[in-house]
Structures are given as C-alpha cells and as structure tokens.
Amino acid sequence: MDHWYRFVKQRLHWTLPNLRTPEQSERWSDLMPLMSWQLWLAKDLVVENILPWQSASINLTPGRVAQSMWSVLVDIGTPAKLPKHRGKSPGWETGKVRTKAPCYPTVKKRVSRRKKSSRLAI
C-alpha cells in the first residue's frame, strides 16, 4: 500500500494541484485508483519505451507503463479539431502615432545603517 501512495504522489501528481474546495480534492482523489487501474490494464497495449540507463523488462510496472503511454495516445489520437487559420494579423493602424511608454523614476530603498549600541559610561 505504501508503494502505491508513493507512486500516486510522485508519478500521478496526487498532491500537485491546489484545489479550493474539499469536494474538488475528493474528486481528484477518487481519480487516482482509476488512473492506476487504467495503467494496469494498458500494460499489454503499450510498447515499452526504455531510457538509456534502464534495462528491458517483461513485466511492466505501472511506472514503466506511464512512461510508455505516449504510444497508446498517439494511436488513439485527439478528439480536438485542428486550429483554424486566421490569416495575417492587421498590425499597427496606418497613420496612428506611436508614443513611448511612460517612464517612472526608480524607487530605491535607503541603505540601512547599523544602529550604534549605547554604551554605559562607567
């Protein structure tokens, strides 16, 4: 169980988002087991993508599956449409006078000096 919590926190970024309400945090936490199962089930679908310092493995761990998940995502594709071409932007209006941005004086902090310690006269 401890290994799963470590995996979920580090690899699936369980603690990364700063959610505002407890309901949002609970929904995010409910997704963690689902993502883990998705990685477990995708184990047979992915093509292992090993890094140069890693050795090939027969049984892929969920971390190795997450590392290789890009091959499945490339095969699936995206449901999003391609962005529309908007053409060349019109740019600056012809005849409009350009003015420089206003410059303001720099505010500098005063150099703080060490306070003189008061000595007791003997």
- Residues 61-113: pLDDT tens digits? 888 888 888 888 888 888 888 888 888 878 888 999 988 888 888 877 777 77
- List of residues 6+ apart from 42 with CB closer than 8 A: 65, 69, 72
Q: Where are the domains of the chain?
A: 2-76
Q: Which residues, other chains included, contact 56 with Cβ-Cβ below 8 Å and sequence gap of 6+?
A: 48, 50
At 75 the pLDDT is: 83
Does residue 104 sit in helix, strand or coil? coil
The string of pLDDT tens digits covering residues 10-65 is: 777 778 887 778 888 888 888 888 888 888 888 888 877 777 888 887 788 888 88
The confidence score (pLDDT) of residue 118 equals 62
Torsion sign (Cα): 65, 70, 71, 77: positive
pTM: 0.52
